[in-house]
Amino acid sequence: MAAPRELDLTVTLETAWQSWGIRLRSLVDADQMSPDTTRGYLAYARRAIDHLGPTRTVDSIEAAEISGWLTAYKARGRGDKPSSPDTIRFCRKSINGLMAHAESNRWLRENPMRDVPRAPMPTRTTRPERAALARHELDAMLAAARVGHGSFNGDQGCWVRDEIAVRLAGESGLRNADIRDLDVDDIEKDPAGHWVVQIRCGKGRKAATVPVTDECATLINAYIDQWRPEPGALPDRRDRHGKLFKGDERALLLTAERHRFNTSSVGHIVGRCAKAALGRHYVPHGLRHTTGTLLVREAKADLAIVAHVLRHSDISVTSVYLDTSNDEAAAAINRRKIGKLGSAASRQALPPGQDTPTWPDDCGTRRGWQRHRREKVPRCGPCRYWYRGAQEELAVLRRLMPERLHGTLSGFRDWKCRCDRCRAARARADSPDCRLVLSPRPATPKAVCPGCEKRRSLTAAGVMRRHRAGEDPCSGSGQEPAPPSARSTVDIEPQQAADQEEAA
């Protein structure tokens, strides 16, 4: 057993501060303390030392001097506002850590922090920008991100990226830093088949597995495959305090400049979506409150499951009696379908009570997509989802049976369209270098009806289809076609050629 240290009362505050800094950095290297917390402790302790005198010995500091500095620092504040109680408590905690380090090294006879009063705990009131949202408010924010209100610039795929950020914060309760540090390899399926994201280094340098909804996982995979831009060239790096800053190569969400999200990127997206959907300011941490509130109120989840999703340790005593798992957490989240793709609830851009038009009923279909093109207006969110799904189906058809593919290369316009895009697509399809073999649909057989004496379509049995002669049903429906005459044969052949060309 080592001998106890001798009392050394000649150590100055400057020497004690430097020794304490070495001790804190060793805790950072051992992953027992965050670099940001270390920088805060050293900074506030440095301000106290500059006020008390760096050359004074640690043993000469009195409790009244520390209390006087805390009072003066609170009154000084920033601008016209005094320092908050949270700031004063952090200052006291910093000085307390320095004095505890000096006491453990026997540089003082008695710790003066025992006589320094603690700052009172403030009354916790939830601010509006951090309060939990209702279901229709969260749906409105998702709809605002879906139509492009989350980004101030028009970078490609920004609406998909913004909706992913809002869903991760509002559905799974991820923190701002968690979304920033996500990589493309962090989205995966657990052994039970539920989609989860891996938090490699969360708050308190803790790793966790958080379930996500199936809709969010679909968006993330589509963003990685189609919309994610080529990442930038910034590598992984560490600052002088040892804090790691991840590079751009494996980042899941990228900015318009192709760099990884920073600490304010998610806040800007959430703030712009809330301004467009709710008409007020909102912060990403409020979406964590939304996640917990909706899990309890709508999914009827137990508090232990909520703590498992939000990664809280405050109800550890309750968790001893309740067995929680990823299966229960994923089932509770998936029972709450927020902003389902193309649903009627997601078509309402803003909550009820605001003067905002709703999307037409044909949005999310081919007819709605064509209406947007015909009216020359920007596509809405449901129509964009339909377009993306149609592209995926067309890609599958191209791989499986290209020799039987009908229509154009885009899959959304037929050969009757005379726009430049369709003409270029048809020219590529007709060229010998095209890998697709476009076979036209067979022409519908037609013949002369014995009732109305006009060319009508035939059924598979070779009889006339049901049709009208004016306003009344034709008497020739369901009968054998009229035999062709010498005169009609001359007239029918050009018409058949025109019909076949039109069908091709």
Higher local confidence (pLDDT), 253 or 319: 253
pLDDT per position as a tens digit, 353-362 = 544 445 677 7
428 within 8 A of 409, measured Cβ to Cβ: yes
Pairing state of beta strands 195-199 and 472-473?
A: unpaired
What is the per-residue pLDDT for 451?
A: 87
- How many whole angstroms separate alpha carbon 133 and alpha carbon 122? 24
The pair of three-digit structure tokens given for residue 133, joined into one six-digit string: 């949202």
Please give the model's pTM, rounded to 2 decimal places. 0.52
pLDDT per position as a tens digit, 125-160 = 556 677 788 888 899 899 888 887 777 555 556 888
What is the per-residue pLDDT for 453?
A: 86
Q: Where are the domains of the chain?
A: 13-115, 128-334, 401-439, 446-483+497-503
Strands (E), 60-194: 187-189
Q: CATH: 3.10.129.10, 1.10.443.10, 3.40.50.150, 3.40.50.720. Which one for 128-334?
A: 1.10.443.10
**Is 436 a residue whose pLDDT tops 50?**
no
Could you tell me how many residues make up the chain? 504
Q: Return the half-sphere exposure (C-beta side, CA atoms, 13 A cut-off) of residue 38.
A: 22
**Is 414 a residue whose pLDDT tops 50?**
no
Query: In terms of CATH architecture, what is 13-115?
Result: Orthogonal Bundle (1.10)
Is 128-334 the same fold as 13-115?
Answer: no
What is the per-residue pLDDT for 357?
A: 45
472 strand-pairing partners: 469
